[in-house]
């Protein structure tokens, strides 16, 4: 959109429970956005949506059928309003199996960093009934339903088959991936991406004694890990190397295209057993952006893009994302710009897969 036609002001309605408002719509964001022409207006979720607004954009994190019906009604009355994001897009994140399936089908082009290739994947995961025979311990059992409830964050670390008996279904069971105790949390707001480091669980050396652990020692409940960094962790985390931003950007672009979401974060850990392989373990819709340094600028830039329709519906190439390379078999290769090279890369990818 030529600068002269660029809209400089707009209204963004936000509909979310009070505890979510606290972790996203902080006073610093409201003030900064207002300075830049974006008026953030609270939508009262206990009142009829149709009687509120209209807005240029409506962002929401409300999970019930009545709200979904109101949203449909609102969209039909105000077709120009941009809904961030569609329930059909974020609902797949409420099931931890469908959540990570999007990673396996990433159709995107990612940028090879200037010095090395990256590869990515998801942890091996099974249902409770097949975990014991198909996975190696330790494993981490996660409630299958990831719908923002407190219970959906109650994870269990399980060290042997006895411990699985104490796991309350429905769950998905993932192999624990040693990753050096540091988590990379990537926040995405349209074309704007920020990666932060968080303290994670420490590595576990699989010891022969694990199978003989007392029953009560064979399972450990864990929750709220990533937000409890202590002083020494800070030093520890500072030393952890961040993956290349080109890789992070490309993963963000891939997940945007695969999920059709604009506001989300994803958790990445570096597989200690493989060279430069990152494992996606979690994707969250509309997380607590307020934890991200500079989130006020990031979200305001995003809102301005939305009201100027610069934040194309996913799939469009935008500034900041490069489609200079390709993912083939989840391995990152550089797309040298012509189709012959891409074909070569594809063949190379197939050979790579055959040899590995
Ligand atoms: N497969 C895994 N291997 C190693 N560590 C893991 C694995 N899955 C989860 N973890 C650790 O457990 C933490 C919580 O897992 P996860 O992010 O899946 O749960 P969550 O409840 O969705 O968390 P969030 O608050 O980010 O939504 C991760 O940040 C990481 O530290
Ligand atoms: O540290 P982050 O921002 O990842 O913590 C998020 C978390 O990832 C989830 O997105 C939480 O949302 P729910 O899954 O809906 O519980 C966020 O909760 P919130 O109350 O802060 O929005 C966490 O911030
Ligand atoms: Mg997480
Ligand atoms: Mg999560």
pLDDT band of 76, cuts 50, 70, 90: very high
Direct distance between the N- and C-terminal alpha carbons of the chain, in angstroms, rounded to an integer: 47
Top-confidence range, 98-107, 108-117, 287-296: 287-296
pLDDT (tens digit, 9 = 90+) per residue, 120-166?
999 999 999 999 999 999 999 999 999 888 899 999 999 999 999 99
Mutate to test the pocket of ligand 1, among 23, 98, 99, 140 (most ligand atoms within 8 A of CB): 140
Task: State the Cα torsion 349-351-354-356 to the nearest 10°.
Answer: -70
**Is residue 143 in contact with ligand 2, taking CB distance under 6 Å?**
no
At residue 351, the pLDDT reads 44
ipTM: 0.94
At residue 315, the pLDDT reads 40
- Which residue has a Cα nearest atom 13 of ligand 2? 148
At residue 105, the pLDDT reads 76
Checking if the pLDDT of 340 tops 90, the result is: no
CATH of 3-85+295-355, one of 3.40.50.11950, 3.30.70.1520, 3.40.50.2300, 3.20.20.30: 3.40.50.11950
- Which residue has a Cα nearest atom 7 of ligand 1? 176
Cβ-Cβ contacts under 8 Å for 220 (sequence gap 6 or more) = 156, 157, 159
Listed in order, the ranges of the chain carrying CATH 3.40.50.11950 are: 3-85+295-355
CA atoms lying within 13 Å on the CB side of residue 150:
1
Ligand 1 atom at minimal distance to the Cα of residue 179: 4
Cβ-Cβ contacts under 8 Å for 132 (sequence gap 6 or more) = 161, 164
Listed in order, the ranges of the chain carrying CATH 3.30.470.20 are: 93-285
d(CA 296, CA 289): 9
Please tell me the class of the 93-285 domain: alpha beta
As for ligand 1, residues whose beta carbon falls within 6 Å of it are 123, 140, 142, 146, 153, 155, 174, 176-177, 179, 183, 200-201, 225-226, 267, 269, 281-282, 284
Sheet architecture: strand order including 277-285: 192-199, 182-189, 263-270, 277-285, 119-121, 331-334, 325-328
CA atoms lying within 13 Å on the CB side of residue 172:
22
DSSP notation for 197-236 = EEE-PPP----GGGGGS-GGGSEEEE---TT---HHHHHH
Report yes or no: 298 and 206 within 8 Å, Cβ to Cβ: no
Q: Helix count (H) and strand count (E) of the chain?
A: 11, 16
In DSSP terms, which residues pair with 334 in a beta bridge?
A: 325
- Which residue has a Cα nearest atom 31 of ligand 1? 200
Q: Produce one character per residue of 319-345: b if its CB has 16 or more CB atoms within 10 Å, e if not.
A: eebbeebbbbebbbbbbeeeeeebeeb
d(CA 177, CA 229): 20
Cβ-Cβ contacts under 8 Å for 84 (sequence gap 6 or more) = 57, 58, 59, 60, 262, 263, 306
Checking if the pLDDT of 3 tops 50, the result is: yes
Continuous segment of H or E residues that includes residue 42: strand 38-42
Q: Determine the distance separating the centroid of ligand 2 and the alpha carbon of 288, expressed in angstroms.
A: 5
Checking if the pLDDT of 41 tops 80, the result is: yes
Checking if the pLDDT of 332 tops 50, the result is: no
d(CA 132, CA 143): 17
d(CA 60, CA 1): 26
DSSP conformation class of 166: T
The verdict on whether omega for the bond into residue 170 sits within 30 degrees of 0, i.e. cis, is yes
At residue 4, the pLDDT reads 66
Mutate to test the pocket of ligand 2, among 237, 284, 289 (most ligand atoms within 8 A of CB): 284
Continuous segment of H or E residues that includes residue 67: helix 65-77
């Amino acid at each position: 959109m030529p600068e002269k036609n660029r809209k400089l002001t707009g209204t963004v309605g936000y509909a979310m429970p009070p505890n979510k408002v606290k972790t996203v719509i902080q006073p610093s964001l409201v003030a900064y956005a207002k300075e830049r022409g974006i008026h953030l207006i609270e939508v009262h979720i206990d009142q009829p949506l149709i009687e509120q607004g209209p807005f240029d954009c409506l962002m929401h994190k409300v999970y019930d059928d009545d709200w979904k019906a109101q949203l449909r009604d609102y969209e039909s009355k105000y077709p120009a309003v941009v809904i961030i994001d569609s329930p059909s897009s974020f609902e797949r994140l409420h099931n931890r199996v469908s959540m990570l399936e999007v990673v396996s089908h990433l159709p995107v082009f990612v940028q090879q960093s200037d010095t090395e290739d990256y590869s990515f994947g998801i942890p091996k995961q099974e249902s409770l009934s097949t975990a014991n025979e198909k996975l190696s311990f330790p494993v981490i059992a996660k409630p299958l339903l990831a719908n923002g409830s407190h219970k959906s964050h109650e994870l269990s670390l399980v060290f042997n088959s006895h411990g699985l008996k104490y796991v309350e279904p429905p769950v998905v069971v993932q192999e624990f991936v040693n990753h050096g105790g540091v988590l990379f949390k990537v926040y995405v707001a349209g074309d704007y991406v920020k990666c932060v480091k968080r303290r994670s669980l420490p590595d576990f050396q699989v010891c022969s004694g694990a199978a003989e652990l007392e029953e009560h020692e064979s399972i450990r409940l864990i929750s709220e890990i990533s937000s409890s960094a202590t002083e020494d962790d800070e030093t520890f985390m500072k030393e952890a190397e961040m993956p290349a931003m080109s890789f992070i950007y490309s993963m963000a672009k891939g997940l945007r295209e695969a999920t059709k979401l604009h506001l989300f974060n994803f958790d990445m850990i570096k597989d200690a057993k493989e060279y430069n392989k990152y494992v996606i373990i979690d994707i969250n819709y509309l997380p607590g952006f307020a934890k991200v340094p500079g989130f006020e600028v990031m979200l305001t830039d995003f809102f301005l893009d939305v009201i100027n329709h610069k934040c194309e519906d996913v799939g469009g190439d935008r500034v900041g994302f490069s489609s200079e390379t390709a993912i083939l078999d989840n391995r990152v290769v550089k797309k040298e710009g012509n189709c012959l090279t891409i074909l070569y890369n594809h063949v190379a990818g197939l050979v790579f897969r055959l040899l590995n």
